[in-house]
Chain A
Amino acid sequence: MIAAAPSPSVASIGRPMRERLAGFARTLRDNGFKVGLAETRDALAILTHSLASRPTSLKSAFRSLFCATHSDWERFDEIFDAYWLGAGMRQVRTLAGVAGESRIPVRRRADRTLSPGLLGQPDHVERRNDGDGESAADGQARREGASRSENLSSADFRHITSPDDMAQAQALAKRLARVMRARLIRREQIRRRGRRLDLRRTIHRNVSHGGTPVELAWRRRKIKPLRLVVLLDASGSMNLYTAFFVRFLHGVVDAFREAEAFVFHTRLAHVSPSLRDRDAMRAVDKLSLMAQGIGGGTRIGESLATFNRWHARRVINSRTAMMIVSDGYDTGEPEQLAEEMRRLRRRCRKIVWLNPLIGWRDYTPQARGMQAALPYVDLFAPAHNLESLAALEPYLARL
């Protein structure tokens, strides 16, 4: 609808008011609202209406107009009040005609892609030298020469240290994510061989045969890719692996059309929006920063509860595979973890638990949390190097 908004007297709106409105649109944009010219024009049309004389009516009209998502909806009142009614402002004395630029208490230039809970974080990060944090590793896997990447794929992630190696590992992870996706799709195609007749096209083609269906037109069922939801443990005990898996996560979200990613340590954060940042480096940096978080304990049970309660309904459908990447060291109650795993199990198709520790010699899943979770896990697999990740591929392809 090319909204020919009824505009009896748009011209009657004075210049100061127009500027105020433009300032409001700018404030909204700075807060991550998607506001375009059409919205501003419609807002002018609303201002010409008698309804606009009452602030509460104006607020609810603007809210419907400018909001596009639930999170917009929840933040709108605060921004509106701050801008138009001057509520909760530190410097209140500003002349009415001055557009809001300098007097906005709400977050400006806050990073748009971060989820609300994480907005406190600074935007720009010093590019971390990935080597420093993990220098505890003895670097035994670093070899030179032609077979470098091959060696890399069997090197424990703990031993991948230099930024160069890291970048290469990331590329491998990304490729792996792509391969996984391609496999899944091919599989589905073979399985769903059932074809239906396309009546519309068949009839059209056979008019000249007197309507007798000589040439048939077929329809193939559309292929739906699997949805992958990854929960990554970023607690202190996983520290050595986090940097790598963050990159893996980025590869997954980038390559799968339907993928969601969450990071947890003591609480759970939804990170797919940040990962969709076009600039891969920045996305990974941002996420590394979140993942560093509090190096304290892990609360897997509680994080899963948060996931089940608030996110599961939205991100899980019948074609969803869950991938949990964690060492299973849980500082919470194992009973809670078991209970939440049970609920999760009922919802999704498969649960894959990747544990980097399995790659260690003589590892047995002794951690209480791991013990509690195991009965609900469909596949419990190592994930300490790229080879072990690649070994997952056939399994995931069969889902």
Chain B
Amino acid sequence: MNRNDISDRLAAVGYVADRDIATALWLMEYLKRPLLLEGEAGVGKTEVAKSLAAVHEAELIRLQCYEGLDQNAALYEWNYQRQLLAIKTREGVGENANAIEEHIFSERYLLERPLLAAIRREKPPVLLVDEVDRADEEFEAFLLELLSDFQVSIPELGTIKATSIPRVVLTSNGTRELSDALRRRCLYHYVDFPDVDREARIIVTKTPGIDAALALQIARMVSAVRKEDLRKVPGVAETLDWAATLAGLGVHDLRQESEAVYETMICLLKTHEDRARLTREVSERLLGKVA
């Protein structure tokens, strides 16, 4: 699959891509490397992985990282209830301890967690390691090992080799500096807020029945709002909420409906401070500039 195919397929699954991201996704395929996406919250990093899965008609396996995430939660876990049950029943039959141990630490009692699931599928899935910067350094090191060997060893069971190599997408919000080793293992793409044209196309794609002129006005307005000094800059999801709200209210032209614009701005501004900063006057000034 070459790059243009990827662009086309992304468009077909409803992802409005720019050329650079299509190139990055093609490179992932071509060089067989994971892709690290960085960018502010709300620019659509997770969406890239979802669309990639749709493009390849692959399963999306998602691992949400958090502080204190450990191997148990990420890789595998034993099914304790069943194990306990098995111990009791087998003991009743009079089996010896070694045989029981052998039995309860077998495949049947293993619970797959996302990382193990990702390497044991028939068809290569897309593995999304979301917000990898939230996990600890130790976990990062472990992830790195997995990404280079694609095998895991389970002490009680032995080594499990990958049946298929997943396509790996990692995202980071930059709350912690990632290690150089992980960065170098990955291709890199910095996801920025979409420019006005692209955001307008995203609105048209995702909001049924909205007309192109309104979508463009909304995209311009949001782009202007992002330039204000805000505590929390509205992301693409917020834009879509706002567009849906305006469309639902039957607004056709932002200029005619400055009151509705101001009132629905809560879709974009999620803190009291930001709400207070974008007063009615500011809202009208921005509107005058963009619409």
Is the C-beta of A165 less than 8 angstroms from some C-beta in chain B? no
B181-238, CB < 8 A from A? 183-184, 186-190, 229, 231
Q: In chain A between 1 and 55, which residues have their CB closer than 8 angstroms to a CB of chain B?
A: 1-6, 34, 36, 38-39, 42, 45-46, 49-51
State in angstroms the CA–CA spacing of A70 and B177 once bound together. Answer: 11
Contacts of A5 in B (CB 8 A): 30-32
The smallest beta-carbon distance between A197 and chain B, in angstroms, is 10
Q: Please determine whether A207 and B97 come into contact, CB atoms closer than 8 angstroms.
A: yes
Q: Is A309 an interface residue (CB 8 A)?
A: yes
Distance (whole angstroms) from the CB of B213 to the closest CB of chain A: 30
Interface assignment of A200: CB less than 8 Å from any CB of chain B: yes
The closest CB in chain A to the CB of B189 belongs to A64
- Beyond A1-B148, A2-B148, whether A68 also contacts B31 by CB under 8 A is no
Question: Is there a chain A Cβ closer than 8 Å to B91's Cβ?
Answer: yes
**Can you show 18 pairs from A to B with CB atoms below 8 A apart?**
A3-B31, A45-B30, A46-B27, A64-B23, A64-B27, A65-B27, A69-B38, A69-B188, A70-B190, A73-B188, A200-B77, A200-B80, A203-B83, A207-B97, A208-B97, A210-B88, A221-B68, A224-B67
Encoded as 1 (CB less than 8 Å from any B CB) or 0, chain A from 331 to 367 comes to 0000000000001000000000000000000000000
Give the interface size bracket for B toward A.
Answer: 35 or more
A222 to B135, CA, bound (A): 13
Q: 1/0 contact trace for B65-105 toward A, CB 8 Å? A: 00110001000011010011001100100000100110010
**Would you call A204 and B31 a contact (CB within 8 A)?**
no
Report the minimal beta-carbon distance from B180 to chain A, rounded to whole angstroms: 6
Shortest distance between the CB of B2 and any CB in chain A (Å):
7
- Whether the Cβ atoms of B87 and A70 lie closer than 8 Å is no
Interface centre among B23, B175, B183, B231 (most CB of A within 10 A): B23
Please name the residue on chain A nearest to B72 by beta carbon: A200
Contact across chains for B23 and A60 when beta carbons are under 8 A apart: yes
A211 near B: Cβ within 8 Å? Answer: yes
| Pairwise interchain contact A3-B27, C-beta atoms closer than 8 A | no
Q: Tell me, yes or no, whether A67 is within 8 Å of chain B by CB.
A: yes
Number of A-B residue pairs with CB-CB distance less than 8 Å in the complex they form:
110
B20 at the interface (CB under 8 A from A): yes
In the complex, the answer to whether A207 meets B101 with C-beta atoms within 8 Å is: yes
Most buried by B among A1, A34, A57, A199: A1
Within 103-161 of A, Cβ neighbours of B (below 8 Å) are at none
Known: A1-B150, A208-B97. A72 touches B83 (CB 8 A): no
- In the docked arrangement, what's the CA distance between A3 and B30, Å? 10
Contact A51 B3 (CB under 8 A): yes
State how many angstroms separate the Cβ of A206 from the closest Cβ of chain B: 9
Residue B33 interfacial (CB < 8 Å): yes
Chain A residues touching B, range = 35 or more
A178 close to B (CB within 8 Å): no
A200 to B231 alpha-carbon distance, docked (Å): 44
> With A46-B27, A68-B183, A208-B97 in contact, is A4–B38 under 8 Å at CB?
no
Query: A175 within 8 Å of B by Cβ?
Result: no
**Closest CB in chain B relative to A174 CB, distance in Å:** 22
Contact residues in B for A68 (Cβ distance below 8 Å) = 180, 183-184, 186, 188
> By the criterion CB–CB under 8 Å, are A34 and B183 in contact?
yes
- Assess the A73–B104 pair: CB atoms within 8 A: no
B33 touches A3 (CB 8 A): yes
Apart from A64-B189, A65-B187, A222-B68, what 14 extra A-B contacts exist at CB < 8 Å? A3-B32, A51-B2, A51-B26, A57-B23, A60-B20, A64-B187, A70-B38, A70-B174, A200-B72, A200-B77, A203-B78, A204-B156, A211-B87, A317-B175
Asked whether, in the complex, the Cβ of A42 is within 8 Å of the Cβ of B31, the reply is: yes
B161 at the interface (CB under 8 A from A): no
Known contacts A199-B80, A200-B78; decide if A49 and B188 are in contact (CB<8 Å): no
B267 at the interface (CB under 8 A from A): no
**CA of A70 to CA of B136, assembled, Å:** 21
Question: Is A45 a contact of B190 with CB atoms below 8 Å?
Answer: no
Whether a CB of chain B sits under 8 angstroms from the CB of A314 is yes
B254 close to A (CB within 8 Å):
no
Given A34-B183, A199-B80, A46 and B30 contact (CB-CB distance below 8 Å) = yes
Q: Give B138-174 as 1s and 0s: 1 = Cβ < 8 Å from A's Cβ atoms.
A: 0000000001101000001000000001000000001
Set A45, A72, A222: member contacting B188, Cβ < 8 A: A72
B24 contacts partner chain A, Cβ-Cβ < 8 Å: yes
* A381 CB within 8 Å of chain B: no
| CB of A61 closer than 8 Å to a CB of B | yes
Closest CB of chain B to A261's CB: distance in Å? 14
Kindly state whether residue A368 has any CB partner on chain B within 8 Å. no
A63 in the interface (beta carbon within 8 A): yes
